[in-house]
Amino acid sequence: MSLILDNMPLFLRGLLATLQIGVVTLIASTIIGFILGTLAVTRSRLLRLVVRGYVELLRAVPLIVNIFFIFFGAPLFGLQLTPYAAAVIGLSLWGGANGAEIVRGGLLGVPRHQAQSARALGMTEPEIFIQILLPQAMRAIIPAFAGLLTLLVQSTTLGALVGVPEFLQISRLVVERTTVMQGIDPAFQVYAFVLVIYFLLCSTLSFASRWLESVLAARGGSRKTGTAKSLLPETVS
Amino acid sequence: MDFDPAYLAKQLPALWRGLLVTIEVSAIAMLIAFALGVFGATIRYLRIPFLSPLLWFYVEFMRNTPLLVQMFFIVFGLPALGLTLPLFWAGVVSLALWAAAFHIESLRGGLATVGKDLHEAGTALGLGKWQFLALVGLPLGLRVALPSMLNTCVSLLKNSAMLQAIGLMELTFVAVDKMAMDFRMLEMFSVLLVVYVALVFLLSAAANWLEYVLQRPFRI
């Protein structure tokens, strides 16, 4: 226990980096998700196909391979990425694919007659999208994105494998340093500590997501709010 | 950097061995996870005191912690308690324990859809608790839970790539190892991409087939 307390400043720095990556990738995923998710419900078959391909590809390849590809593969395109940048890009592309599914699901969950009625009232397509479809879809989209944040926070650990100094990587360093300097292997305590902190963090986020869902559903009356959250993968992979 | 087929051909035997490890570790973990899932969901369904709340916590814990940290804990942390597993089996255990949590939750949900009327009908026919579960509950509940359980299996297969981090020589490990030695990224990433997409596709196809077959009694 004293080992954990002695290294607390380090752990806190790692935890901060984890949260930072989580928030940054959530923002990037939201942007990618909204753009692609909107394109996925347009009338253009080609656009829909492109989005479908992107989503399926990113969901079929293990996330860690994806991050390795960006980190080790960037030099192929004449880029030199830091581990931090590679992890953020890899996670954002993955989060963006899942975000696109969420947004698409949310938009398709709005009953058809809403757009039809708006069209009958003479609203233009952009007006219908912004004033009619999006606000109703948001009810399903917001809790799903909160769920996505939980997954993203969990997946930041993969950054450790390319050397991002996030929570897990810092803990690895603490284990190594203590083993070398003091001759004892504290892996059990340290990784148990990491597990507990992650559990507290992520279960709070999961709880927040469920809470948002119930609050927004209550506000929407008895009507079902679509199934955006069920389109989220239940786990990082 | 150009794609060099000759280089790729030379690395194929090593990659093939890596692929076999990936398939073995995933397949064994899937079987164990399935067994643990059925076992755990049964305990949850029967509300066995003490064990049932414990499993609820287990499921929440496993779902809200990153798999990679779980792997590190099992591989590097457990030896402190005198539990040292060979690397391959440590991989199997970590994947199986992780997937079992998702299976328990899916199957618990599936069993919950088996309605009260069926239960009453079973009791009226003289079925005991266990008989009802084995003859009615599980066959019906499994069908409902199957799609999400098969999704978990696909995730398990993909997550076996994380075992690279603990040094198990599975496909991703071999490919990344070769990259570190020869700096030929393009060939190795092409292999990873093609193989994982193919594996996921095959497993999904098998999953769809299984769902189709199991729905047979319910089609007219």
Task: Tell me A227's DSSP state.
Answer: S
In B65-76, which positions are buried (b, 16+ CB within 10 angstroms) versus exposed (e)? Answer: bbbbbbbbbbbb
| A9-36 tens-digit pLDDT | 999 999 999 999 999 999 999 999 999 9
pLDDT in tens, B100-137: 999 999 999 999 998 888 888 988 998 888 889 889 99
Interface test with B, best of A15, A54, A68, A93 (most B CBs within 10 A): A68
Please say whether the dihedral angle defined by the alpha carbons of residues A180, A182, A183 and A189, taken in this order, is positive or negative: negative
Q: Which domains, ranges and CATH numbers included, belong to chain A?
A: 2-231 (1.10.3720.10)
CB contacts of A199 in chain B (<8 Å) are 60-61, 64-65
Portion of chain A with pLDDT greater than 90, in percent = 65
Q: Which residue do the tokens 């917001």 mark? A: A142
CA–CA min distance A112, chain B (Å): 28
Interface contact B161, partner A, CB < 8 A: yes
pLDDT at site A140 = 86
Confidence of residue A216 (pLDDT cuts 50, 70, 90): confident
- Average pLDDT over every residue of B65-70: 96
- pLDDT beyond 60 at B182: yes
The one-letter amino acid at B11: Q
Higher-confidence position of A160 and A230: A160
Rounded alpha-carbon distances, angstroms, from residue A38 to A30, A51, A53: 12, 10, 15
Which residues numbered 104-143 in A keep a CB inside 8 Å of some CB on B?
none
**Residue A221: pLDDT above 70?**
no
DSSP classification of residue A41: T
- Looking at residue A220, its pLDDT comes to 65
Chain A residue numbers touching B81 (CB-CB < 8 A): 188
How many Cβ pairs closer than 8 A exist between chain A and B?
133
Of B60, B151, B192, the CB nearest to A203: B60
pLDDT of residue A222: 47
> Span B65-69, mean pLDDT?
95
How far CA B100 is from CA of A127, A172, B21, B32, in Å, comes to 47, 27, 21, 8
Mean residue pLDDT across chain B: 92
Query: How many Å apart are CA B172 and CA A68, to the nearest integer?
Result: 10
ipTM of the complex: 0.89
Is residue B8 over pLDDT 60?
yes
User: Residue B165: what residue type?
Assistant: A
Domains and CATH numbers, chain B: 5-218 (1.10.3720.10)
Determine the average pLDDT of the residues in A138-143.
89
Q: Is B104 on the interface with A (CB under 8 A)?
A: no
Gap from A54 CA to chain B (nearest CA, Å)? 13
Given a cut of 70, whether residue A86 has pLDDT beyond it is yes
Task: Sort B36 into a burial class: Cβ within 10 Å, 0-12 / 13-18 / 19+.
Answer: middle
The minimum CA-CA distance between B128 and chain A, rounded to whole Å, is: 35
| Residue of chain A with shortest Cα separation from B102 | A234
Neighboring chain B residues of A63 at a CB cutoff of 8 Å: 158
A3, A64, A155: best mutation site toward chain B, by most B Cβ within 10 Å?
A64
Tell me the mean pLDDT in the region B12-18.
93
Residue A6 pLDDT exceeds 90:
no
Is the Cβ of A191 closer than 8 Å to some Cβ of chain B? Answer: yes
Measured between alpha carbons, how far is B188 from A161 in angstroms, rounded to an integer? Answer: 18
Long-range CB contacts for residues B81-86, cutoff 8 Å, separation at least 24: B81/A188
Which pLDDT value is given to residue B71? Answer: 95
Please write the tens of the pLDDT for every residue from A38-81: 999 988 899 999 999 999 999 899 999 999 999 988 888 888 89
Structure tokens at B103: 């299976």
Report chain A's mean pLDDT, rounded to a whole number: 89
For residue B163, the distance in angstroms to the closest alpha carbon of chain A comes to 10
Q: What is the DSSP letter of A75?
A: G
Q: Which of B66, B68, B76 comes nearest A187 by C-beta?
A: B76
Establish if B164 touches chain A: CB-CB under 8 angstroms.
yes
| Side-chain-facing half-sphere of A60: CA atoms under 13 Å | 19
* Cross-chain residue pair B65–A198, CB shorter than 8 Å: yes
Tell me which of B4, B58, B72 to substitute to probe the interface with A (most A C-beta atoms closer than 10 Å).
B72
pLDDT of residue B101: 96
Nearest chain B CA: its distance from A119 CA (Å)? 38
Residue B139 confidence (pLDDT) above 60: yes
**Contact state of A187 with B80 under an 8 Å Cβ cutoff:** yes
The pLDDT, as a whole number, for residue A202 is 94
Q: Residue A38 corresponds to which tokens in the numbers above? A: 């909107």
Does B180 score more than 90 pLDDT? no
Average pLDDT over residues A213-228: 66
